[in-house]
Structure 1
Amino acid sequence: MTNQHATQANKDLQRYEKPIDSTVKLRTIWWSSAPDTDLIQIASKKSALVFLHGTADGADVWDPVVRSVADKLPLPAIAFDFPGHGGSEGFDDGIYTTQRMIEAVESALIKMRINYPILVGHSLGGSVSANLMERGKITPSLCILVDPSMRDTANVDDNIRAHIKVLANGGASLADLIQAVEARMALADPEALKTVLPSMSAATQSVRPNGVPNSINLAQGIEQVLSDTTCNDLIDLLPRISNRKIALIRGQFSAVLSQKDANLALARTQNRMSLTVIERAGHAIPFEQPEKLGEAVAKAILTYRS
């Protein structure tokens, strides 16, 4: 695709939103350049991209990434807020586990007749994506894991809990919220934060339980996912899906997915899985290097299609 055509593809990309009934009602965003904005019709295409975010983030984090992918590979793209995040409903009993996140996304994909998605999951979303591939109720044509944790460690959990606290506490103004997130993410792209955080904040003002006008809506108990033992560590799951198409993307300075664990993951899949390292990025790659992440996602798709 030429630069001129790529720019036009991005310009024509429109963003839409609607709730989808699953185990709970999930806020769903989709992007398409097609004039027909019917979500089910767009989503049921075999090549639909499904983006799954990390703990305490939301579907909005994918907006600049999706637009970067569209510059290279125009495909229908969909993203969900996980249960208890953003505009999605939480669980009535207040119990949050990775297994329940998996079931919620799985139910939504089946309802939308997305049987062969390309899954792109960051952090928690990566674990959900890999588990969806193993469960087999849907058949992902490709699973792209973006800086997931390969095994549970106290250091990783503490860092994510600190991230949850910043987003849930928010600030007196949107500028304060952005400043607080920037302080947590030394490598964050300022333009990405200015694009993503207002949407994440504004989209949920009417349902935010804590009354802070510029915070990210998170159900109490989201941190339970970090101590969840209902799913195996990703490093133990990978060998069971090593015969499938999997790509791994790591941030150069990630404290969540170390180079050692990335190499171990490659060994566990007998080097059938590809590895891409995004320079000048830590764990929060969608916030830090959205354009480069979009390029890496598009490259992985084109590589596995060839």
Structure 2
Amino acid sequence: MPTEFDLLPENAEELGLEPDPLPSVTRIDTVVDGRTVSALRWTTESLRVVFLHGGGQNAHTWDSVLLSLGVPALAIDLPGHGHSQWREDGDYRPHLNAEAVAPVIRELAPDAELVVGMSLGGLTTISAAARYPGLIKRAILVDVSPESPKRVENLSKKDRGTVALVSGPDTFDDLDELIELTAAAAPNRPKSSIRRGVIHNTRQTDDGRWRWRYDRFRKSIEPEPLWKDLSDSDTPFTLIRGGLSQFVADEDIDTLRRYRPGLVVFTVDGAGHSVQSDAPSELARIVGDTLRSAH
């Protein structure tokens, strides 16, 4: 019976890594306030990094990064995504996500030195750092600021990339249709990577059609509470921008630096919003360097 981990050798081959032996990866479900929060645990050792994906994604978006990084890590499916339970109210704002993932981090990765959050996962990281002092010792935001959700509203479909798919149809006739749609939204990404991503991010319904493995957002994300969270937290932050992305503007960085004078900023040339998919090895290098600089 095929498992969700059967595609990892393909990830490794694409990265130029030896496909054998691969790290031990297991899925762990935790019940928080009556809802299941699912996560992928990379190795059985003490976990050093926690990864939180973006909206419309899932924990497998980090597979290539984690293979390149090679450190024990936890990749969490945010509520309403992947294998985590959907909320009845469709409310996936960062402060509610933080309430869901904080107990998971505390239970499974209490000694984590770093949390890496991309897009919605980055905003969730900001909220969690403010609401749970001491939980997040150091954080990396991947291509997001508190202004990003509003900024995206004014971007063209082309500039939104794969994020534009979130507002598209819910169900599809076959998997190939989804793969082609995603490939058109991410033309610089290897087709094999896109295929893996679609497989991990979809499920087949009883009528044989395919649908995304995430819920629709029914609440908008406002920037003001997130800026306040930044002001209330003393967690050191690093920002990684995609060089081709328009989700973070220069003025956003100026504001981030007013709240965090020590903010470190990296730009990954040639990467769009999903830096982990467009440049996984480069992102892994920056994450590794950040871990080493903490010691």
Q: What TM-score, normalized to structure 2?
A: 0.80
Q: How does 1:107-146 map to 2 (within 5 A)?
A: 107-112=103-108, 114=110, 116-146=112-142
Partner of 2:40: 29
Supply the RMSD in Å over aligned alpha carbons.
2.8
Partner of 1:63 in structure 2?
Answer: 63
Question: In structure 2, what is the Cα distance between the partners aligned to 1:152 and 1:217?
Answer: 23
Which residue in the other structure is 2:8 paired with? none
Distance 1:84 1:155, change over 3 A: same
Q: What is the number of residues matched between the two proteins?
A: 273
Q: 1:162 deviation in Å?
A: 2.6
Distance 1:59 1:224 in 2: 22
1:53 is matched with 53
> Structure 1 residues 113, 185: closer, same or farther in 2, change over 3 A?
closer
Q: Over residues 29-50 of structure 1, what are the superposed CA-to-partner deviations in whole Å (9 max), with x where a residue is unaligned? A: 1212xxxx5xxxx4xx3x5211
Q: Match for 2:23: what amino acid? A: L
SS in structure 2 opposite 1:215?
strand
Q: Cα–Cα, structure 1 residues 142 and 93, in superposed 2: closer, same or farther, change >3 Å?
A: same
By how many angstroms is 1:236 displaced?
Answer: 4.6
Q: Could you say what secondary structure the match of 1:223 adopts? A: coil
The structure-2 alpha-carbon separation of the partners of 1:237 and 1:188, relative to structure 1 and needing over 3 Å to count, comes to: farther
SS in 2 for 1:150: coil
Task: Give the whole-Å Cα distance in 1 for the aligned partners of 2:108 and 2:282.
Answer: 30
For residue 152 of structure 1, report the CA deviation from its aligned partner: 5.2
* 1:13-40 CA distance string (max 9 Å, x none): 12211322123101211212xxxx5xxx
Q: How many percent of aligned residue pairs carry the same amino acid?
A: 22
SS, match of residue 75 in structure 2: strand
Deviation at 1:82, TM superposition (A): 1.2
Contact 1:115 1:138 in 2 (8 A): no
Query: Distance between the aligned counterparts of 1:184 and 1:260, measured in 2?
Result: 26
**1:142 Cα offset (Å):** 1.4
Counterpart CA distance in 1 for 2:100 and 2:170 is: 26
Unpaired segments ≥5 residues, structure 2? 1-15, 155-159
Partners of 2:97 and 2:148 in 1: CA distance? 17
Partner of 1:3: none
Deviation at 1:65, TM superposition (A): 1.1
Shift of 1:138: 4.5
Q: 1:10, CA displacement in angstroms?
A: 7.8
Is 1:294 aligned to residue 284 of structure 2? yes
Cα separation, 2, equivalents of 1:240 and 1:91: 27
One-letter amino acid of the counterpart of residue 74, structure 2? I
Selected match of 1:257 from 244, 248, 253 = 248
Greater fraction of residues in helix = 1
Question: 1:98/1:224 Cα in 2 relative to 1: closer, same or farther (>3 Å)?
Answer: farther
TM-score (norm 1): 0.78
